Chain A
Amino acid sequence: MIRMNGFIAALAAAACILQGCSGQRGASGKKTVIGVSLMNVSNEFIVMLNKSMDEKARQLGVELIVNDAQRSAEKQVQQVESFVAQKVDAIVLNPCEVEASSPAVDKALAAGIPVVNVNSETRTPPTAFVGSRDEDAARIAMSYIAQRLGGSGGVVMMHGYMGQAAQIKRDQGAREVLAKTPGLKLLADQTAEWDRAKAMALMENWIQSFGDRINAVFAQNDEMAMGALISLEQARRKGKVLVVGVDAIADALQAVRDGRLDATVFQDARGQGGTAIETAVRIVRKQPFDKETMIPFHLVTRENVGQYLKATAP
């Protein structure tokens, strides 16, 4: 399969040379420019997404203009407006919010500029979407808990910011598994706002109220899982409680390798970022492209953590 891909790539390269590499240059002879608006570059996952986009752009010989929306949908709309004014060839949008970032997509499409949404959705359908299904991540994590506990036990769940798309979907996925596994009892669920310090306090309080009844913790991201883990270790209870997170950030992978964290779910930033740029370039070059690319999640445990540690090395 890999060899096959290599062959296709070689063919594409040959075709490119024959055409005088018109793909790299737009019709006017200029270099292809892609505007990128990212949700928030102070988030480790988004930083990785950004990096993989830069790599792919360098590989394909296109130019990126990367803006940080700093979690504000309003800022994101402004950034897209300025991309439209600059007449970029395509826009890659990493939406802050489902509803509030939609006008950005509307405006770009109205101006005839294709939009590729990456990682999260907007209400307005873009030209193409690259991402992962958050429900799947939670499903994978909760199924792992169900399997390790033999289908019965007490579980607590830490939510992200209430009302964010990722929180809603991870909640959905987790509850699907809970509904199918009547032996698993959800003792409590509460938000720790994706935050490690808040998760520590919440876990300490849960240890006080439920004590030995907690058999497993599902945190909707790794930051919170790490917080819960530290609290459990300090209370000398980690040996009896399973902790599972989502995202596979560097810290969590270390903890999995050291046998502290039981599992995390790998969301493929590299795959998402790279594919988003590739799709945008295909659209600009009028090549066939997938309207929807789903990059799968993977469960990471101590057995397979090695390969992910390498993949996310800074």
Chain B
Amino acid sequence: MATVRLKKGLDIHLVGAIGDDTIVATSQPQSVAIVPDDFHGVIPRMEKKEGERVACGEPLYHDKNYEAIKVVAPVSGTVKEVRRGERRHIDAIIIAPDQGGEAVTLDLKRPAEEVLLASGLWVMMRQRPYDVVPVPGVRPRSVFVTAFDSAPLAPDLDIVLGDKRQYIAKGVEVLKGMTDGKVYIGVREGQNIDAPGAEVNTFVGPHPAGNAGIQAANTEPVNKGETVWTMDIVTLARIGELFTTGKVSFDTVVAVDGEMVQQPRYVKTVMGADLETVLKNELTNVAHSRIISGNVLTGVKVMPNEWLLAPYRHITIIPENNKPDEFMGWASLNPKRYSIYRTFTTWLGGLNKPVSMDSRIKGGERAIVRTGEYDAMLPMDIYGEFLIKAIISGDIDKMEQLGIYEIAPEDFALAEFADTSKLELQRIVREGLDKLRAEMS
């Protein structure tokens, strides 16, 4: 039990926050999809063909290198389409759900790792280094579970958990058996998580305090050669539920919010549900909206005819371009033009008022000029700017030395937002991690 105070970072207050916490149930989705890109590190090899029936929890595909890693159907139904893109890359596996409701029950007497791999929950976890789906057979040094989401407009994970919180204790027990170290749970101030056996630490401070990587770096940093697992509390509860009932539940509560949402609220649905069902009547201006599965910093842009992506409990909808052809925006004295820097006048009115932000980059890409911008957004003992430069120049030794094993792309999301030079930092970090992973294997 420790309290960690983080000073670096930033809370961005956007308009379109959820007002009341009632959860609205949605109707049965018309289609449900699994998007393989969500499980970074898993190369899909299909097990089901188009037209075949699947039960809830039945494998759709496995990983090319580790056949035990399964990705499963979140509902029962028929595989309607395996949508492929360029070079036969699988874009999505679309299931037409039915009312059958048959579900796979797993044999809990097998070793925990086998059960997790087969259940489809394994791919919901991430490992450091590389921020990929964990490699089977590697015992993690420790496990980091984050119990809150600090991103802009993020859902309150206590609400998302709902009555699933009863399974947290069981989840901790299972994970403790899979690591030689500790299971850490990071909570925010005032949040109450009852998890005997876990080490619960309180994190006080702005975003990204809720990132598992930031919590790890400030409790037990990842060293070269070590592996840790990261996940959020919802995944932990699902693991607990699996090992209590033998079944995985893919029901989820999702926060639907953002400026372009008519009535921001929590919605109860199922993982992978189609957005037409989830967003019914909420979209005000489709042509002008950007729908993000996840939050505005790390989420993925999705089209209205696509699906709620598996890793997220959040859909944010923001304007696509609020102010086309803004005349000499760089000279603006308008305090509503949001900038955290005092070169603009936003700070005069205070930075804590909810602001409207669109998806424009608002500037051209440049070399890194200003100093300290990344460090101010990264509460880790890492020289962010030097690490980014090492990645850009492909210097593997320097990447290692500067701590690339400790980071995930999401940790640089705020720096990307704040960057005057408008570099795509998350993409750069992802490429660096992938390069290193290819080099090491």
Same complex origin of A and B: no
| Contacts from A to B (Cβ < 8 Å) | none
Q: Which residues of B contact A (CB under 8 A)?
A: none
